[in-house]
Amino acid sequence: MALGGAGPAGSGGLPAPSEAVPAGQGIAILAPLSGPNAALGPALVAAAKLALAGGPRLDVRDTGGTPAGAAAAASAAIAAGAGILIGPLTAGETQGAAGPARQAGVPLLAFTNDPAQAHPGVWVLGITPAQQVRRMVGAMTAQGRSRFAAVLPESQFGSAMGSALVQAVAEAGLPPPTMRSYAPGMAAMNAAMRDISDYAGRRGPIDAEIRAARNQHTVAGRRRAAELARHAIPPAPFDALLLAATGDSLGALATLLPYYDLNPPQVRVLGPALWASPVARGATSLTGAVFAAPDPAARADFDQKFTAATGAPAPGIADFAHDAAAIARVLAPSAGGAGYSAAALCRPDGFAGVDGLLALRTDGTVRRGLALFELQRGGPQMIEPAPDNLSAPGI
């Protein structure tokens, strides 16, 4: 399978007359075939073509990896008859392409995971913090946990994870989560963890009793002090703690958990799908911690077909290009589909994607069925499979 564009449209021109499609019925992909992300563009096109094999033609448009280039590519595709746009890759490109798409009333299925890009008519297909956190909150509430907290970095990702937790907990009808953020550095992490754990309030009364017993300067006092020192301190004011750190920062936070008596099973640590990667986890041992992510086994068939077609393994981002094209194919009027209206795209039963079930919502967000994983000594192990219906908790 060729990885570039198809015919004249692959270089940005209008389709040749013999390739013309009825206005508003074509499928176009906006991909970075040049610019800083040009190495990913051909894989996105290849994944989309796999989904459309033997079906509607794909109009390939180069965004150049910039917002302006994405806007121009979207306008050209719409002028050539596109009724749906798949891509582009980044948040900036999505913002650029969204203007022409909304003006023309053409839906856009973007590959970014930036929740800020989700709007009516513009769907974010990347796996978002909201999808991950909703899945974990659903699983934790099913286990009887209802008090959530978060210690998050002062970053865009940390903010997104925090917002997702607030929303998911509210949707579950639970009390608002307690949250603390930290600037880079161990001192800031330590202060945030100490504060949120209420360590002084939990440990302080016991320490005061120990001092009072020792100050008696008697055998009985020393015996009492030793007995008090063995007492467990009261539990933390939460039973599920969300972290968003990776690498060295995650390792530093992990050392603080036992120090402040935030131990399993009283406290279940939750984290991002990034923890599926050994690089993100580093040398950190957080046995029992949980994260939500797609089941790798679900994409095995896609991996095999992609490798056979291109000679190279599929990058993770290619999943979204394949799913977007598959949705477009199912709804293509030329194939007897329902067309590209919001009602058709947001159909109640959703779609079967490479990474599992997904369903588009009218506000531009996407619901996903993610699996649940637990960090164990041998690495992450799936403890709950991905839901296969939209009524399951956590989707």
pLDDT in tens, 214-251: 887 888 778 876 776 676 678 899 999 999 999 999 99
Q: Is the per-residue pLDDT at 18 higher than 50?
A: no
User: Residue 96: how many CB atoms within 10 A of its CB?
Assistant: 23
Whether the pLDDT of residue 148 is over 70: the answer is: yes
pLDDT of 49 strictly over 50: yes
- What lies within 8 Å, CB to CB, of 105 at 6+ separation is 121
> Percentage of the chain with pLDDT > 90?
75
Cα of first residue to Cα of last residue in the chain, in angstroms, is: 35
Q: Which CATH superfamily is domain 129-198+236-293 in?
A: Response regulator (3.40.50.2300)
Cβ distance 302 to 314 under 8 Å? yes
The yes-or-no answer to whether 7-127+296-364 and 129-198+236-293 have a common fold is yes
Instruction: Give the pLDDT band (50/70/90) at residue 392.
Output: confident
What is the rounded distance in angstroms from the CA atom of residue 151 to the CA atom of residue 148?
A: 11
- Domain map (residue ranges) of the chain: 7-127+296-364, 129-198+236-293
Task: Give the separation between CA 355 and CA 385, rounded to whole angstroms.
Answer: 12
pTM (two decimals): 0.86
Residue 136 in 3-state DSSP? Answer: helix
Nearest to 203 by CA among 182, 175, 174, 232: 232
Q: Which CATH code of 3.30.565.10, 3.20.20.70, 3.10.20.30, 3.40.50.2300 fits the domain covering 7-127+296-364? A: 3.40.50.2300
What is the DSSP annotation of 310-357? HSSPPPTTHHHHHHHHHHHHHH-GGGT---S-HHHHT-TT-EEETTEE
- With tokens 């490479």, the residue in question is 354
pLDDT of residue 204: 67
